[in-house]
């Protein structure tokens, strides 16, 4: 029976690692953990009496004191049992060799911890009583307990985590314990309605939201290992599955009205108090630990979170030691892939090893053990296109010129503003035949979509395509992008998806990258939120409407001989849920609400649609 239980636990761990994309390990790292560490398990009581399951791995060598590195997670600290070890201790294999005390904790309401789980549990600036708890107090209480109960600790604590654990690391910065000296939120969620994971500018990221929450949000009766398996769509064709599912309320066929989190999301379509209170950056105003926020330029889940968290710390904590690291990575891929490629795009080196050895490990070594010099710049960022690491004294860099890339007649794109008195391009958006976000069959939101070849999309009649002449010199865009649209629709609401694309030259017709249209950044905007995220407004049919919206930062060089391309479309399916193109609560829509709409994108001197970008001088 024990053997069968251990096997089930191991399988559960592998399922969690595969689903969340967190670090994998080698036989050597597992050997180091077993040979040099002792594992203990505790139920640590929080201020309100709720006990959180905590695994602690301490070095067998007791001749010195060690700092602690902690990770808090909703995905399980498995394997459970004092004799079963995690395959990897710490953010990378470098940490177990060096010697730290490693702490892993199931957050409240998940797996073996007591209490009730809340999605991105909001911070409570004003506590109702001394026992009122949130994620910041849970972190504080855990650190306090560890300092008093774990022998041979040196009084310093670090925190790290990727994705949801990265979110908890960011939460720890809101009201940090004095012993918390170094924190690295990695791919952290900052706001799940405005730009991370589940929503972007009011548009639901359907594939990711559905596939994640259909299992994650299962009801639980008490502490116990959560079953975390992939949802069976009954087909490999996600486009077909979600199209046949129809309007969002039909998802209850699979949720069975038992998924508390999905039900919550469907009750909060606008940016109301439910979402606004979950925003983490607004509370980052008394940050005392050293912070290294890490993100991936091509993170399909949380490309925005690291940028927002870094910026808010920088703005509100001028004395804080605060750096940003951005690599050419997918979600958490700096910990489990070599970072040399994503999809068809090559980056020319093992960027993950470079990061682990030269950035991450020295950061924790310096602030937790006083070892080594801290020479990290304000921003350590990879520049895709040219495929080089860059260092800057600020992010975005100061040595930039603000420029605009304008739409012109005949699909032209230029840094010169249009001179035409009038002009627009038109297409028909049909929700029954939405533009696919991939050129392959899969039920998932793939990591690779962020750099995918867009030629399959460019040939559709419901996608507008604009491109520059062949570039005579390199053009590097570094920083945030503002999409400044002038558009109209025959409906009363619409989505507008803007994609910035690097077009590779065609030379031999035999090289795999010949003519490749690399997606550099793509982002949707639900037009009813153009004036307010909280109070949507209908569009007046066929009236020219100004629809500006921000797109996440990029750091990309369009090489000499390449072209810059822009796509504009009104669906991106099933990545983004379909807009009925009627002004209504889409989360309550019926199948019959969906209608075709004629869309126009304007490109005149008066209504000049453009992308505002920062070009490196």
402 class by beta-carbon count within 10 Å (0-12 exposed, 13-18 middle, 19+ buried): exposed
Task: Report yes or no on 224 lying in a domain.
Answer: no
What's the pLDDT tens digit per position in 155-187?
Answer: 999 999 999 999 999 999 999 999 999 999 999
- Inter-CA distances, 587 with 95, 270, 276, 330, 579, Å: 46, 10, 18, 29, 10
Reported as a pLDDT band with limits 50, 70 and 90, residue 510 is confident
Which range among 31-45, 103-117, 553-567, 586-600 shows the weakest confidence by mean pLDDT?
Answer: 31-45
Q: Which of 98, 130, 148 is nearest to 371 (CA)?
A: 98
Residues 112 and 128 in one domain: yes
Interior angle at CA 302, CA 572 and CA 399, nearest 5: 100
Residues 477 and 587 in one domain: yes
Residue in the structure block whose two tokens are 């699979």: 254
Residues 315 and 406 in one domain: no
Task: Report yes or no on 217 lying in a domain.
Answer: no
How many C-beta atoms lie closer than 10 Å to residue 1's C-beta?
A: 5
What's the pLDDT tens digit per position in 333-344?
Answer: 999 999 999 999
Task: Report yes or no on 254 lying in a domain.
Answer: no
pLDDT of residue 3: 34
Instruction: Cite the beta strand spans of 108-266 per DSSP E.
Output: 153-162, 180-186, 199-200, 203-204
Instruction: Cite the beta strand spans of 48-191 per DSSP E.
Output: 51-59, 66-73, 101-106, 153-162, 180-186
Report which DSSP code applies to 357. I
Residues 381 and 406 in one domain: no
Mean pLDDT of the chain: 94
Residues 9 and 152 in one domain: yes
Asked if residue 191 lies in contact with residue 308, where contact means CB atoms within 8 angstroms, the answer is yes
H-type alpha helices, 303-385: 305-316, 351-355, 361-369
Could you tell me how many residues make up the chain?
617
Task: Report yes or no on 264 lying in a domain.
Answer: no
Residues 384 and 452 in one domain: no
CATH code of 333's domain: 3.40.50.1820
Last residue of some domain: 392, 409, 433? 392
Residues 463 and 415 in one domain: yes
Task: Report yes or no on 214 lying in a domain.
Answer: no
pLDDT of residue 4: 39
Angle between helices 164-172 and 305-316 (to 10 degrees): 10
Report which DSSP code applies to 38. E
Give the strand pairing for 495-503 and 341-342: unpaired
Give the strand pairing for 400-407 and 463-467: unpaired
pLDDT of residue 567: 98
| Rg of the chain over all Cα atoms, to the nearest angstrom | 25
What's the pLDDT tens digit per position in 209-260?
Answer: 999 999 888 888 888 877 667 889 999 999 999 999 999 999 999 999 999 9
pLDDT of residue 508: 72
Residues 192 and 117 in one domain: yes
Q: Which two tokens stand for residue 557?
A: 């060089």
Task: Report yes or no on 226 lying in a domain.
Answer: no
Residues 422 and 304 in one domain: no
pLDDT of residue 18: 41
Residues 406 and 388 in one domain: no
Residues 384 and 507 in one domain: no
How many structural domains are present in the chain?
Answer: 2
Task: Report yes or no on 253 lying in a domain.
Answer: no
Measured distance between the N- and C-terminal CA atoms of the chain, rounded to whole angstroms? 66
Task: Report yes or no on 207 lying in a domain.
Answer: no
Domain boundaries, position 583: 400-616
Last residue of some domain: 362, 392, 422? 392
pLDDT of residue 458: 94
Tell me phi and psi for residue 352, to 5 degrees.
-70, -45
Residues 350 and 279 in one domain: yes
Torsion angle of alpha carbons 606, 608, 614, 617, nearest 10°? -80
**Which residues, at least 6 apart from 79, have a Cβ–Cβ distance to it below 8 Å?**
6, 9, 10, 13, 85, 86
By percentage, how much of the chain surpasses pLDDT 70? 95
Asked if residue 60 lies in contact with residue 28, where contact means CB atoms within 8 angstroms, the answer is no
Q: Which two tokens stand for residue 159?
A: 């925190």
CATH code of 539's domain: 2.60.120.260
**Structure-model confidence comparison of residues 34 and 143, the more confident one:** 143
Reported as a pLDDT band with limits 50, 70 and 90, residue 78 is very high
Q: Which of 20, 25, 555, 90 is nearest to 327 (CA)?
A: 555
Query: What DSSP element (H or E) covers 495?
Result: strand 495-503
Q: What is the DSSP string of 315-328?
A: HH-TTS-EEEEEES
What's the pLDDT tens digit per position in 406-462?
Answer: 999 999 999 999 999 999 999 999 999 999 999 999 999 999 999 999 999 999 999
Distance separating alpha carbons of residues 515 and 455, to the nearest angstrom: 9
User: What region, left, alpha or beta, does residue 418 occupy, with left being phi > 0 and alpha being psi -120 to 50 degrees?
Assistant: beta
Tell me phi and psi for residue 238, to 5 degrees.
-65, -35
Last residue of some domain: 392, 426, 460? 392
């Amino acid at each position: 029976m024990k053997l069968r239980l251990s096997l089930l636990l191991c399988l559960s761990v592998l399922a969690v690692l595969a689903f969340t994309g967190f670090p994998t390990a080698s036989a050597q790292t597992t050997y180091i953990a077993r040979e040099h560490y002792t594992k203990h398990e505790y139920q640590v009581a929080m201020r309100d009496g709720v006990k959180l399951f905590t695994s602690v791995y301490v070095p067998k060598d007791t001749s010195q004191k060690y700092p602690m590195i902690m990770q808090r997670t909703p995905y399980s600290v498995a394997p459970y049992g004092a004799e079963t070890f995690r395959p990897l201790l710490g953010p990378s294999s470098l940490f177990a060799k060096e010697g730290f005390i490693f702490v892993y904790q199931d957050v409240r309401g998940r797996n073996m911890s007591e209490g009730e789980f809340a999605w991105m549990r909001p911070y409570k600036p004003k506590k109702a009583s001394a026992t009122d708890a949130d994620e910041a107090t849970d972190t504080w209480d855990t650190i306090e307990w560890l300092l008093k109960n774990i022998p041979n600790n040196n009084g310093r604590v670090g925190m790290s985590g990727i994705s949801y654990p990265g979110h908890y690391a960011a939460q720890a910065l809101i009201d940090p314990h004095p012993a918390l000296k170094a924190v690295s939120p990695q791919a952290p969620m900052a706001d799940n309605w405005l730009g991370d994971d589940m929503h972007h500018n009011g548009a639901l990221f359907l594939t990711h939201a559905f596939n994640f929450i259909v299992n994650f949000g299962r009801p639980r009766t008490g502490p116990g290992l959560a079953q975390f398996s992939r949802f069976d769509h009954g087909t490999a064709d996600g486009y077909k599955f979600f199209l046949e599912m129809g309007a969002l309320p039909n998802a209850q066929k699979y949720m069975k009205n038992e998924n508390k989190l999905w039900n919550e999301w469907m009750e909060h379509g606008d940016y109301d108090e439910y979402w606004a209170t979950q925003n983490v950056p607004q509370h980052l105003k008394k940050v005392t630990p050293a912070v290294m926020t890490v993100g991936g330029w091509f993170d399909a889940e949380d490309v925005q979170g690291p940028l927002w968290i870094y910026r808010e710390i920088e703005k509100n904590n001028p004395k804080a030691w605060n750096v940003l690291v951005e690599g050419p990575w997918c979600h958490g891929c700096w910990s489990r892939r070599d970072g040399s490629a994503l999809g068809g795009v090559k980056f020319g080196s093992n960027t993950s090893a470079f990061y682990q050895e030269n950035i991450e490990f020295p950061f924790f070594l310096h602030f937790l053990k006083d070892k080594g010099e801290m020479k990290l710049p304000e921003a350590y960022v990879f520049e895709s296109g040219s495929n080089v690491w860059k260092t800057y004294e600020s992010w975005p860099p100061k040595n930039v010129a603000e420029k605009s890339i304008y739409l012109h007649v005949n699909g032209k794109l230029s840094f010169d503003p249009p001179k035409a008195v009038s002009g627009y391009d038109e297409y028909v958006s049909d929700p029954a035949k939405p533009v696919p976000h991939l050129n392959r069959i899969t039920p998932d939101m793939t990591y690779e979509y962020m750099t995918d070849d867009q030629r399959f999309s460019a040939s559709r009649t419901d996608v507008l395509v604009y491109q520059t002449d062949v570039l005579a010199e390199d053009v590097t865009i570094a920083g945030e992008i503002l999409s400044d649209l002038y558009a109209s629709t025959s409906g009363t609401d619409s989505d507008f998806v803007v994609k910035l694309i690097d077009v590779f030259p065609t030379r031999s017709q035999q090289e795999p990258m010949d003519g490749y249209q690399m997606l550099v950044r793509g982002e949707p905007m639900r037009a009813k939120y153009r004036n307010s995220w909280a109070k949507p407004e209908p569009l007046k049919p066929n009236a020219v409407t100004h629809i500006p919206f921000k797109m996440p930062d990029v750091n990309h060089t369009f090489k000499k001989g390449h072209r810059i391309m822009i796509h504009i479309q009104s669906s991106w399916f099933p990545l983004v849920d379909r807009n009925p193109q009627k002004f209504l609560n889409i989360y309550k829509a019926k199948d019959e609400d969906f209608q075709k709409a004629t869309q126009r994108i304007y490109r005149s001197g008066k209504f000049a649609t453009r992308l505002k970008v920062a070009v490196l001088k």
